[in-house]
Structure 1
Amino acid sequence: MSDDAARRPSIFRDRNFVLFLTGQAISTQGLWIEKIAMSWLAWSLTGSAFWTGLIAALHFAPAFLLGPVFGVFADRIDLRRAAILINALMAATSFFLMALSFAGYVTVGWMVLIATCNGVLASAMTPIRLSLVPAIVSREYMSRAVTYASMNFNLSRLVGPAIGGVVIARFDVGTAFMLNAISYLPFIFVMMLVDIQADRGPETRKRRIWAALGDGARYALGEPMIRAMLLLSCVIAIVGRGMLELMPVFAEGAYDSGVTGLGALSSAAGFGAVISTFVLSRTKSDPHSFQRVAVIGALLSGGAMLALCFCPWFKLAVVLVGLAGFGLTAVGVGSQTALQLAVDNTLRGRVMSFWSATSFGGVALGGTVLGAISQWSDIRLTAGGAGLLIVLVALVAMWRISRAAGPTASPVK
């Protein structure tokens, strides 16, 4: 951490950020509880890696198609009202899923439909959520605000699956869905209290949707660092995070450890993610520093997944999944923070929607494809192939960064 950063007042003195972080902490706990409940229920109903991967993917697939369009709206609508409405709708779908579960009417068809609805709502919320942090804190605190918000998300990823596993084992999946539905309510209340200052360019509301979307695409593709981060996040999401969506298959199919093992593996990934975001919070606040962290994270996660291919012991697998979680979070948060620091405010919603589309859309594609491969192959071999591809991509990225930083690079004016 730089001397300038050390001298700044703590970001936790900012009332807006503390309120936002508190509301997000509660809602994301519920999100991970529901996520593990849906994955376990899909596996229990079907015993199929393909269906488990597909239902997980449907939470993210709409982001690939609809995320950029919602990004245009994020640059022109009232962020507060949009966040409240979307979270209320997400709470409603969770209550509905709870009712189906308690009544014993949950089927694969219902799960596919609800997962798709949640995916559409999440794709609408993501560019709004990514635009909220810069609208709540000043630019000098932006990198720390983004990393602490991500740390909070990944801490929930550590605690939520463990809670979900206990709730499912001692009660049922319906109770897990009920906890998620209730968890949205504090965030809705918080959004009524925080002060939001969002910049809107004078031309933003006047441009047609597709023209505004084209403006954002040209801007993103025209900036080398932004283009590189979008590409890296997409590749890693497909073969990295897509692999983590198959943890129920690992827990039951590879190690015969049941829902308790699923909770342990998911919590290990979350623990690695929390440590990663802590390291990221100490990173120098400039886009290129976070770009380097993202590439190193890709190398670590790829190595961990490659090692899973040869791992016969569950306890060692937990450690390797934790290391993968560390590296994948470094890619996700590093690329996101690099973009947040580099992007123009009037285009933030659109550019960050491209990031969410490549990241979450990649997870959707990866979860489906890797699930299908694992249906006819050993899950360990799938993990090994994914890890090898990530390592190769990371090495190429490291080589390109070293060339750009070499003595022949042109000085910045």
Structure 2
Amino acid sequence: MHNNKNKATAFSSPDFNRYFAASAFLTLATWMTRFLVGWMTWDLTASALWVGVVSASMLVPTLFLSPYFGVLADRVNARNGMVLIHMSEALLALATSLASVFGYFSLHWLLLLALLLGGLSAAQHPMRLVLLPKLVDRELFPSAIGLASTTYNASRVLGPALAAWLLLTVGVAAAFLAVAALLLAGLLLILRLKVTSSPSFDCSQPVLQALLQGFRVALMTPLIRLVLILTMIDGLLGRSVMELLPAISGQLIGGNAATLAKLTALAGAGSILGGVLVSRLRGKEARLLRLVLAALLGCSLILLSVMAVRELVGLGGMIMLLSLAVTMIGTGCQALIQLCIADQYRGRVLSIWTVVSLGVPALGAFVIGAAADAFGFRTVLLCAALLGAASVLATVNKYRLVRP
């Protein structure tokens, strides 16, 4: 561990600096890959159904396999696990590049690629979440998590743009080759991390028993239980709205592709700012919990403004503020769990949080989207705002005895 007690941010740790640089390469490669897979599916099939199937193929393994990889993350060296995972991703990108060159690129290849990437993503989430706290002192956990989120959200904007440019200028094969190069660059930095941790619990324990133990710890720890509930509210209230941005843009202001691009950029800017704000906090659970609750109530207030939105400026401001709040909630919730969970349960509990944070927004987007088709987005988002505020207040009242 590092002596950072008098330092303001996680950048005071040399290992975190290496991780931050590695994360910039790795997350850029991830978002480029997502764009390339989605675009190539559309290019091959011209079918929205197949695009959805391929997209779901990358998400479903994460939802179902993350808890099992959480058990593994508690048993192995997280740095070595990250190396193996991203090396596998680089080999997949290289194989896809070669498949394109030699004419083997097809829908079946894309489906297999999506499933394999989904499986690797399921393994990567708990490994990354276990690794990060080993790079800084406990009081700098929020700083490390907030700063790491800035690279993720910046890559969410830059990755698709870079992938699109490569597609237009050099083609599919070269684009996937660039992805492989980015992954290898990130790997070289991950290999320089000085993490020598040993397994934190009995590796002879059956996997299912270890998994159930992680669920019990999550449900029996009041603060973790509260964070999971708040994550669900965020998924239904804020993040599901972000998932529906193309439809919201089209219905509320009659937006086109250029409009969506501007809104996406504003959402990315809001996310980066949210990560920076959280990165300035120290490891105080009470302060983080108040931040998360305030941001959730802020989401409700922001969504209420939908009644006044009539043009791009208004909707853009709403989306930017909503994205800022959602990022603060997500990073704050993750930091709260990182601060209160014991090392031997970290991978398992955080993998449960990952499933909630990824799965609930997908469900929320489906529910809100279906309701919006029947009643319109203004009415549905107004109801979501009111229900979200009521849920937060009810949760706070029910768990008022929680004192982190």
Kindly tell me: are residues 265 and 197 of structure 1, through their superposed partners in 2, closer, same or farther at Cα, counting changes over 3 Å?
Answer: farther
Residue 147 (structure 1) aligns with:
146
Residue 397 (structure 1) aligns with:
392
| Alignment TM-score, normalising by the size of structure 2 | 0.84
CA shift, 1:128, in A, is 0.3
Unaligned ranges ≥5, structure 1: none
Letter of the 1:135 counterpart: K
Residue 335 (structure 1) aligns with:
333
Contact 1:76/1:205 (CA < 8 Å) preserved in 2?
Answer: yes
Residue 14 (structure 2) aligns with:
15
CA shift, 1:34, in A, is 2.7
Equivalent positions of 1:73-222 (< 5 A) are 73-99=72-98, 109-168=108-167, 175-198=174-197, 200-201=199-200, 203-222=201-220
Contact 1:29/1:157 (CA < 8 Å) preserved in 2?
Answer: yes
Query: Which whole-Å deviations, capped at 9, do the CAs of 1:220-273 have from their partners, x for residues lacking one?
Result: 100121012113323433564344345555677875533x55443332221111
Unaligned ranges ≥5, structure 2: none
Contact 1:144/1:281 (CA < 8 Å) preserved in 2?
Answer: yes
CA distance in 2, matches of 1:327, 1:134: 23
CA shift, 1:175, in A, is 4.9
Letter of the 2:203 counterpart: R
Contact 2:218/2:224 (CA < 8 Å) preserved in 1?
Answer: yes
Query: Which whole-Å deviations, capped at 9, do the CAs of 1:74-123 have from their partners, x for residues lacking one?
Result: 00012222111110111223334445556776655544432222111101
CA distance in 1, matches of 2:93, 2:261: 21
Kindly tell me: are residues 175 and 410 of structure 1, through their superposed partners in 2, closer, same or farther at Cα, counting changes over 3 Å?
Answer: closer
CA distance in 1, matches of 2:137, 2:158: 30
CA shift, 1:49, in A, is 5.8
CA distance in 1, matches of 2:49, 2:204: 44
CA shift, 1:156, in A, is 2.2
Residue 237 (structure 1) aligns with:
235
- SS of the residue corresponding to residue 192 of structure 2 reads coil
Letter of the 1:214 counterpart: L
CA distance in 1, matches of 2:49, 2:306: 20
CA distance in 1, matches of 2:262, 2:183: 25
Kindly tell me: are residues 105 and 99 of structure 1, through their superposed partners in 2, closer, same or farther at Cα, counting changes over 3 Å?
Answer: same
- SS of the residue corresponding to residue 198 of structure 1 reads coil
CA distance in 1, matches of 2:180, 2:315: 32
Contact 2:297/2:392 (CA < 8 Å) preserved in 1?
Answer: no
Question: Is residue 2:316 matched to residue 1:318?
Answer: yes
CA distance in 2, matches of 1:15, 1:346: 25
Letter of the 1:377 counterpart: D
Kindly tell me: are residues 321 and 123 of structure 1, through their superposed partners in 2, closer, same or farther at Cα, counting changes over 3 Å?
Answer: same
Contact 1:91/1:184 (CA < 8 Å) preserved in 2?
Answer: yes
- SS of the residue corresponding to residue 204 of structure 1 reads coil
Kindly tell me: are residues 224 and 83 of structure 1, through their superposed partners in 2, closer, same or farther at Cα, counting changes over 3 Å?
Answer: same
CA distance in 2, matches of 1:373, 1:318: 23
CA distance in 2, matches of 1:319, 1:48: 33
Kindly tell me: are residues 55 and 233 of structure 1, through their superposed partners in 2, closer, same or farther at Cα, counting changes over 3 Å?
Answer: farther
Contact 2:77/2:198 (CA < 8 Å) preserved in 1?
Answer: no
Q: 185-194 vs 51-60, which deviates more?
A: 51-60
CA shift, 1:15, in A, is 1.4
Contact 1:64/1:360 (CA < 8 Å) preserved in 2?
Answer: yes
Residue 72 (structure 1) aligns with:
71
Contact 1:239/1:387 (CA < 8 Å) preserved in 2?
Answer: no
CA distance in 2, matches of 1:16, 1:246: 38
| Alignment TM-score, normalising by the size of structure 1 | 0.82
CA shift, 1:349, in A, is 0.6
- SS of the residue corresponding to residue 131 of structure 2 reads helix
- SS of the residue corresponding to residue 377 of structure 1 reads helix
